[in-house]
A and B are shown apart, each in its own frame.
Chain A
């Protein structure tokens, strides 16, 4: 299934036509390229999470339209179409362990595939494969998910989404609250999955390191709308603009900028490898002609 996504003049209002109506999104137009890793950044409350709910048809745009592959979603889209669409989309919410409810780990992971029509055997096979991916050992399959450690619960919840074999995987700050090692493991899992299955991944994050390291494309939200999108190098090039938007710069770039102030100019540094490569060249006395 093709999963290129396009937002066209999308507006969204919470509780429209009530005294509590509040605008969520306005004039949102952007694209998420198919089969790529897209990062969505912006302040808390900038509209990122509201946008994500549109991606899975959890809310419908009040105005404008969202095109997802062949499916066009507008204010009038029917529930049935949304249900069909959802079968191809995986959504990992913030603190996804809050969605666990089944008696056993295995059953919980099978829940999604079964809802979307998989047979018992297929669902079990998908669940076992997904659990293997997130490194949950088989002796935990029959345990209650509530007996697991926080990190394990998180991975089981993520397995529950992966088991649906989504073409589009949306991750809303999936590593929040984990320790550094847990964070590393999860991010590796997601990038491997993206490469292996060539799926479209949308990552919402505050961590610019992830953006620099993994993203092919970046979308920046502010005050309920998209203010910039492009390749990470483009986004992080305009330091002043980032500062104005109170967005962080990846550590490697910060470091390169500190060197630049001392008169050592490096080029296109976003991650630590690029930084180390160029510095090593300089330290070995190779003159940079670029």
Chain B
């Protein structure tokens, strides 16, 4: 496992605030990993995302992306490697049509037009938005706009894809489709694509290889989804959602039932219940 992102003792405070949004943050993300960052609103998750893309510069500490140190000098190199999809589907749609929006990043980099056309098509194909290439954003759903945003990033062939609460404003269908899309991308790009998804959505976080919990500007927990989600009390303390199977285990425990301590998925708990009830 080679690290692709590493932060060492990073602190950042917004200019008009005395409390740092992130405090002494140190972590490593490996090449090809899918990491979910969870935390309540205002915990500093989005600040973290913006630091990775040099939209914000750290006050203290050092950030390295693919062996490049994030400094003003290197900022365009960094942005070539790190693509970002934001929360509000409307406020990141730059182009007048779907195809124009996907082309925008390449126009900025001076990619020749012939190459742009192939790459726009390929990226739209990837997110299944090809039939909408000439549509204006006003005639797309939120989920479709977010898929276009992903295509816009993919067209730039980044090493890292950051989803900054990209599913927060979508309806359940849109959300599911986005998560499925990221799964597909990961499946065929493998270690060439590192995904960092900042989210409140349990399903999205559970899809990740690793979950990090940020609370009040500090990294308070990192582990496999199973490890992080098994601790319902802690999740609630951080203002986060608890997976359904864990909630049910809690409720059963309250009713005097002895349930396994380790994390169970819904399927896991169904199987356990089935076995326990069958042997009665």
Listed stretches A105-113, A172-180, A225-233; interface member: A172-180
Please name all residues of chain B whose beta carbon is closer than 8 Å to the beta carbon of A181 when the two chains form the complex: 40, 236, 239-240
B73 to chain A, nearest CB (A): 34
For the residues of A in contact with B, the DSSP-based class is helix
Known: A179-B40, A255-B266. A282 touches B255 (CB 8 A): no
Query: Of B41, B87, B241, B280, which one neighbours A151 at CB under 8 angstroms?
Result: B41
Check B141 against A44 for contact (C-beta < 8 Å): yes
Listed stretches B121-129, B156-164, B246-254; interface member: B246-254
Q: How far is the CA of A189 from the CA of B153 in the complex (A)?
A: 40
Q: How many residues from B make CB contacts under 8 Å with A?
A: 37
Q: How far is the CA of A199 from the CA of B174 in the complex (A)?
A: 33
For the residues of B in contact with A, the DSSP-based class is helix
Listed stretches A23-31, A119-127, A258-266; interface member: A258-266
Which chain A residue lies CB-closest to B169? A177
Q: How far is the CA of A180 from the CA of B251 in the complex (A)?
A: 19
Check A258 against B239 for contact (C-beta < 8 Å): no
Check A264 against B256 for contact (C-beta < 8 Å): no
- Asked if A280 lies at the interface with its beta carbon under 8 angstroms from chain B, I say yes
Q: Mark B191-214, 1 if CB is under 8 A from A, else 0.
A: 000000000100000000000000
Query: Of B200, B248, B277, which one neighbours A272 at CB under 8 angstroms?
Result: B248
Q: Mark B219-257, 1 if CB is under 8 A from A, else 0.
A: 000000000000000001001110011011001101111
Which chain B residue lies CB-closest to A185? B239
Known: A43-B173, A151-B41, A259-B270. A280 touches B248 (CB 8 A): no
B178 to chain A, nearest CB (A): 14
Query: Of B172, B200, B239, which one neighbours A206 at CB under 8 angstroms?
Result: B172
Q: How far is the CA of A252 from the CA of B251 in the complex (A)?
A: 12
Query: Of B142, B269, B280, which one neighbours A285 at CB under 8 angstroms?
Result: B280
Query: Of B41, B87, B244, B247, which one neighbours A178 at CB under 8 angstroms?
Result: B41
A235 to chain B, nearest CB (A): 16
Please name all residues of chain B whose beta carbon is closer than 8 Å to the beta carbon of A259 when the two chains form the complex: 270, 273-274
A287 to chain B, nearest CB (A): 9
Check A264 against B241 for contact (C-beta < 8 Å): no
Please name all residues of chain B whose beta carbon is closer than 8 Å to the beta carbon of A177 when the two chains form the complex: 87, 168-169
Q: How far is the CA of A275 from the CA of B248 in the complex (A)?
A: 8
Query: Of A43, A150, A251, A263, which one neighbours B244 at CB under 8 angstroms?
Result: A251
- Asked if A248 lies at the interface with its beta carbon under 8 angstroms from chain B, I say yes
Check A180 against B247 for contact (C-beta < 8 Å): no
Q: Mark A152-193, 1 if CB is under 8 A from B, else 0.
A: 000000000000000000000000111111100000000000
Q: How far is the CA of A176 from the CA of B174 in the complex (A)?
A: 14
Which chain B residue lies CB-closest to A150? B41
- Asked if B42 lies at the interface with its beta carbon under 8 angstroms from chain A, I say yes
A13 to chain B, nearest CB (A): 19
Check A206 against B273 for contact (C-beta < 8 Å): no
Check A179 against B252 for contact (C-beta < 8 Å): no
Check A179 against B200 for contact (C-beta < 8 Å): yes
- Asked if A276 lies at the interface with its beta carbon under 8 angstroms from chain B, I say yes
Check B172 against A283 for contact (C-beta < 8 Å): no
Task: List 4 additional A-B contacts (Cβ < 8 Å) besides A258-B266, A279-B257.
Answer: A255-B269, A263-B274, A276-B254, A284-B256
Could you jot down 7 A-B contacts, CB within 8 Å?
A44-B142, A177-B168, A180-B240, A258-B267, A276-B252, A282-B280, A284-B257
Closest 7 CB pairs of A and B: A181-B239, A276-B251, A180-B241, A280-B255, A262-B274, A251-B244, A179-B41
